[in-house]
Each structure stands twice: as structure tokens, then as C-alpha cells.
Amino acid sequence: MDEILRVENIWKKFGKETVLKGVSLQMKAGEICGIVGRNGSGKTVLMKCILGFLRPEQGSVMVFGKRIGAECDFAPDTGMMIETPGFLDAESGADNLRYLLRVGKKQPHIPVETVMEMVGLDAGSRKSVGKYSLGMRQRLGIAQAIMEKPRLLVLDEPMNGLDNQGVEEIRSLLLSLGRQGTGILLASHNPLDIAALCGRVYEMDAGVLKEISANFKSG
């Protein structure tokens, strides 16, 4: 399979605090990789470096053969959900997605109505996002991440706020995307999510990343 992501020996500091310490990671198309670790261990900072939102002091990040910060500012062909998704609270879910497409001057590879159905939301509902539950906002964030059919997904705690049915639905969706060739890098506190989804698992501890399993997936 083709390599889609290569992180080589990146270091990241904030003031005197070193948050990432020589982190390296590789991913291939269709691979689902999980990162586990306590809050503050550096998982989100790593994801932001991969996406191009932060620049490491040392090392390199390559996404689809492009070096982030040199050949492109942000990760190409990559969908993301990092921390709490931000939306226009007065607008409906569908209108939020259409607005994001207009602002980015992009065309959806998956129609808005279809992508909302994929994550278990009603595209015809006029309910404003401000009245959404945390789980509904999370579903909308995942819809936004996948609607341009990216070849890489970077997801920080994608199951946060979902009920048991929602967790099962989103797990099934992510597994389906992986089978279609999408690479998925996700962070989760839930070992069941990691076991159900990930073929390769890394642990982040105090800024150091190590692989702890290459055949973690169950079932």
C-alpha cells in the first residue's frame, strides 16, 4: 500500500516545556492507527503538527509526499476533527456544512444530505446547531471532516459525547472508510474504540510516542 503519512523525529516546545520529543510515525492508505495516552501527553499537539496548524522546531511531516511548512502550509487531502468542532449556532446542521463549503470555495464529494445521513443526522431538520446535544455536534463534526472524501482523516476523540448506538454507528462508518482506502489517525481514551478500529496502536507518554501493538484490532 502507498505511504500517505510520514512523521520523522519531530520536536515541539512551548516556552521551556518540550511537548513532543523525537516523535516518528508512518501510515499507509487504508490503515487505521490509534493513539492512546493521558490528557496533556501530546496527542493533540502531534495532530496539529501533522495538519499544519503548528510547526515543529525539528523534524519533518510529510503528507501524500508533500512536506508540511515547505511544500504546502496545511496537510493536503485531509479531513480533520480536532477538539470541539466550531459551528454557527443559529444555523441548521446542513446550512453549516454548506456555509463551510462556500467559505472554502469547495464542492462536496459527498452531497450534504448524504453525508449527514451517513453520520445519523437529518439533513432536512431546521433545528439550529445551538440546540444540538454534544453527540449531535460530534456527528456534525465528523460529517464536516468526511464530506470532501479525503484520503486521510485525523480525528481527536471522535466518539466523545456519543451514546452507545452512536458509537457503534461511527465505528462502522470509520471501518467502512478504511476499507475504501482512507487512512485514519485517531486519538481515543476508550480502549474499546481502539480495539474495534485500529490495526496499529501507539502510546503517547510525556511527549514520547511508542508503538505498543501492530495487530490490536479485534473481530
Q: How far apart are CA 185 and CA 41, in angstroms?
A: 16
State the residue range of the domain holding 99: 86-149
Please provide the DSSP assignment of 67-113 as one string.
EBTTTBSS-TTEEEE-SSPP--TTSBHHHHHHHHHHHTT---SS-HH
Instruction: Give pLDDT tens digits for 49-60.
Output: 999 999 999 999
Instruction: Give pLDDT tens digits for 167-191.
Output: 999 999 999 999 999 999 999 988 8
Same domain for 133 and 173? no
Question: Rounded to the nearest 5 degrees, what angle is found at the Cα of 195, between the Cα atoms of 8 and 160?
Answer: 85
Enumerate residues 6+ apart whose C-beta is below 8 A from 168. Answer: none
Same domain for 154 and 144? no
Please report, to the nearest 10 degrees, the dihedral formed by the alpha carbons of residues 54, 91, 167, 180 taken in order.
-70
Same domain for 154 and 143? no
Same domain for 93 and 38? no
Same domain for 163 and 55? yes
Instruction: Give pLDDT tens digits for 16-37.
Output: 999 999 999 999 999 999 999 9
Same domain for 5 and 62? yes
The structural domain count of the chain equals 2
Of the three residues 149, 174, 202, the one that is the final residue of a domain is 149
Same domain for 157 and 133? no
Question: In which element (H, E) is residue 17 found?
Answer: strand 17-28
Q: What is the C-alpha radius of gyration for the chain, rounded to an integer number of angstroms?
A: 17
Instruction: Give the domain CATH number at 156.
Output: 3.40.50.300
